[in-house]
Amino acid sequence: MTLRSCLRLFLSIGLVQFIVANNDYSESRIYALDNNVVGTRFYDFFSFEAINDPTHGRVTYVDESTARKKNLTFVHQDTFILRTDFKTVLTPKDPGRNSVRIKSKQAFRTHVAIFDVRHMPEGCGTWPAIWEVYPGWRPTGGEIDIVEGVNNQPVNFATIHSTTGCSMPPSSPPGTVLSNRTQLGTDNQNNCDSFVNNNAGCGVSFPKNGAPSFGPAFNKAGGGWFVFERTPTAMRIWFWSRHDSRVPDEVKFARSPLVDPSRYGFPAAYFPNTQCNFDKYFKENNIIINLTLWTSKLVLGQQRVL
C-alpha cells in the first residue's frame, strides 16, 4: 500500500480558546477569556519549532517560512490546518518527511483551554498530539498530553508525566463510590514518574462506548471539542463529539467572555492532586501542537526517551 493511500496527514483546528482565572484562584472555577485563536491568529499566537523531534518520530520539523512555502500549514476561512508532507518518496536512509510543530508563545498555569478539532491525521504511522509542557522540556516542570494517539486508535489517550513522587489514586466510573476520582475514562496506570514503566505516565483511555474521540470514526463524525482545565488541585479533560446535544454553549459557540467548567459534568480524564503536589511537579507550561510519525513497536506512552 502506498503512503498516499494509507494516510490522511492533516490536522484541522477551527478554534483554540485560552481562558484564565482571576489572580486569586478560587474553587468557583469561573474563568475570563484571555485569547481567542482563530484562523490567521495561529501564526501570531504560536511559534514554529524547526527542531529534531524530541519524541523520535520520523519527521523533520520545519520553520514557518518553509511550512507556508510547502503548503504544510495554511488557513481556510476560520480553520487552521497543519499537515505532513505526503508527496516525497523516501528511502530508509532519508531523514523524516517534513512536518510541523508549533508552540504557544505564552505559558500557563491555572487556565482552561478549548480546542475545536475538526479533523485529525489517520492511518498507519500517524501520531498527532496536543499537549502542554514546561519550556525547559520535561519531565522537569511536567507534561500533560491532552490529545494523543497513533495509527487508527479508536479513542483518545490523556496522560500526565512527572518526575519521581507523583501518582494518581485508582478511579471509578460515575454512580460508584469506589474512590474520590470519578471519571468517564479508564486508568492505564497510575505512577506518573517518567523514569519508571517505560515512561508510560498516568494515562487514561477515553470511553470506548462513547462518541469516537480519535481516529477515522472521529473524523467521520466531524470531530469535536476537547476542553482542558488546570487548577492547583486538579486537572480535567472533557470531550464532546460534533453533534452531541450536550455540548455547553460556551464551548460550542465560543461567544462567552466567561466559562464555568463546574457545569460540564464528569470529565473523561480526571487527575486530582491528592497524591501529587502540582505546584512542585507542574510549572508554567506551553501548548504544543504537532504531527509526527510513529516508528516504535512499543505501546503509546512508552516510546519517549528522556
Q: Which of helix, strand or coil describes residue 76?
A: strand
Q: How far apart are CA 160 and CA 205, in angstroms?
A: 12
Q: How far apart are CA 56 and CA 58, in angstroms?
A: 6
**110-132 as b/e: b if 16+ CB within 10 A:** bbbbbbbbbbbbbbebbbbbbbb
Q: Which candidate in 143, 229, 250, 284 is catalytic? A: 143
| Torsions phi, psi for 176 (to 5 deg) | -120, 170
Q: Which of helix, strand or coil describes residue 116?
A: strand
Q: How far apart are CA 14 and CA 38, in angstroms?
A: 6
Q: Locate cell 478511579: which residue?
A: 171
Q: Locate cell 507523583: which residue?
A: 166
Catalytic residue flag (residue 148) = yes
Q: Which candidate in 122, 132, 148, 229 is catalytic? A: 148
Q: Taking the CA atoms of 129, 156, 194 and 29 in sequence, report the sign of the dihedral they define.
A: positive
Using alpha carbons, list the distances in angstroms from residue 251 to 245, 248, 255: 12, 5, 8
Which cell is 259 given? Answer: 466559562
Catalytic residue flag (residue 143) = yes
Q: Which of helix, strand or coil describes residue 264?
A: coil
- The residues annotated as belonging to the active site are 143, 148
